[in-house]
């Protein structure tokens, strides 16, 4: 048997050495980028606060279905039928509470919080809106109403006069259903 003397096993191949360095460099760079993102996310999560509580009126009764929103962002929530609400916001954000029949109320989240959870009850004050008096007529104008009313009273006078003449002449008015009954009884 002939041994192959051309086969040798090098410890480091000189042609692959730069590729090994490049892959190590990419791995270290990827690790640094990922750790930077993790660090940035933890900084942002330190700013986030979960605000929750109950929305109440002046009598401390819960107010259902209140719109809860962050003023600078287009995010919001809705309180449930018991007035409970919960929203995630950043420190120093202004949270606005709006409900029909109540004045708009704002709450600024303090930046000195050490905890990521803040529970607070919000009190909304009633807002009264005075409306002008509205008169509803079945006619377009008051003059048309007046004419119709006068015509109605005139027709009422005529009807009463006819009823008196019917009573004096012994003419009896029968309801149409009674007339039909009378006809059926005569034929049977």
> Which range has the worst mean pLDDT, 18-32, 94-108, 112-126?
18-32
Q: Which of 83, 25, 93 is nearest to 53 (CA)?
A: 83
In a domain, 92, yes or no: yes
The answer to the question of residue 137 being in a domain is no
Q: Which residues of 38-53 are buried (b: 16+ CB within 10 A; e: fewer)?
A: eeeeeeeeeeebebbb
CATH code for position 96: 2.60.40.1120
Q: Domain range holding 71?
A: 48-123
Percent of the chain with pLDDT over 90: 34
Q: What's the burial of 56, exposed, middle or buried (CB within 10 Å: 0-12/13-18/19+)?
A: middle
β-bridge partners, 108:
94
pLDDT tens digits for range 61-97:
999 999 999 998 889 999 999 999 999 999 999 999 9
26 part of a folded domain: no
In a domain, 41, yes or no: no
Identify whether 77 is part of a domain.
Answer: yes
């Amino acid at each position: 048997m002939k041994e192959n003397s051309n086969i040798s096993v090098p410890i480091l191949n000189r042609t692959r050495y730069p590729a090994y360095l490049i892959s190590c460099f990419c791995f270290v760079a990827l690790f640094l980028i990922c750790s930077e993102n993790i660090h940035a996310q933890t900084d942002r999560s330190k700013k986030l606060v979960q605000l929750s509580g109950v929305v109440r009126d002046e009598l401390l009764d819960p107010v259902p279905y209140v719109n809860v929103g962050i003023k600078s962002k287009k995010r919001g929530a809705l309180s449930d039928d018991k007035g409970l609400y919960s929203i995630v916001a950043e420190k120093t954000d202004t949270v606005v509470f709006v409900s029909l029949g109540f004045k708009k109320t704002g709450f600024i989240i303090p930046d000195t919080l050490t905890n990521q959870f803040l529970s607070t009850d919000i009190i909304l004050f009633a807002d009264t809106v005075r409306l002008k008096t509205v008169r509803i007529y079945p006619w377009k104008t008051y003059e048309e109403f007046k004419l119709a009313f006068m015509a109605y009273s005139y027709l009422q006078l005529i009807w009463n006069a006819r009823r008196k003449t019917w009573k004096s002449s012994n003419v009896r008015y029968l309801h149409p259903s009674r007339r039909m009954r009378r006809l059926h009884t005569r034929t049977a």
